[in-house]
Amino acid sequence: MVRAVFQCDGRATCYHSNGHIWIHLNRSGGQCFDEVGTRIRRWCWSNQSLTRTPLQPVFLSLNKTVGVRILEKERVFLSFLAGGQQAKFSVGACCPQGESKTAQPASGPSVLKEELFLLVARTRIQLTIQTLHRCLMTPSNPRPLNIAQAPHLRVVAQRLLEVSTHVVMSDTERAFIQKCLSF
């Protein structure tokens, strides 16, 4: 079950364990809801056209190991705790609306590196699930199966590889994407 989704422009949604929205952040502010969906808090980020609503820090515990801390628009943190060690990631707004971190290809709109990685991961997960499904359909086969991937996944993978050539990233990141999308 997905418990939270964060985007680089500051939009985010965190969910209660029952699936109802807990926190929703957008470019202008945020809202907090209780477990039945009743809004209990609302605020606006600092903006010249809006009066600022002071934000008391918001702390959420999504589960035993994952927490979210909201201090301001650019200072939203996701933390993971395991074995007495903590890893903390900034997931607040990292670029103003409309700003892109990538080169724009002449053939279409730009794609942020983070979005590309999410699409690559989703495609790789779909490929893995398809492979597992086919293996489960023939569990007694002693030879490794030569499984042809679904044509639509092959097309998606090819398009993602093409898009990745226009995105500014390191050689290591590019190699990772190519490995994820290899058949």
Does the pTM surpass 0.75? The reply is no
Based on the fold, state whether residues 26 and 86 are members of the same structural domain.
yes
Residue the block writes with tokens 């998606």: 156
Domain boundary among the residues 57, 90, 123 is at 90
Domain that holds residue 128: 113-180
The per-residue pLDDT string of the chain (183 residues; one tens digit each, 9 = 90 and over) reads: 778 888 877 788 899 988 889 999 988 888 999 999 899 988 887 654 444 445 688 999 998 999 999 988 888 898 998 888 888 888 887 654 444 343 333 344 445 777 788 888 888 888 888 777 777 776 666 665 565 667 777 888 888 888 888 888 888 888 888 888 886
Longest C-alpha distance within the chain, in Å? 68
Decide if 67 contacts 81 (C-beta within 8 A): yes
Domain boundary among the residues 58, 90, 122 is at 90
On whether residue 140 sits in a domain, the answer given is: yes
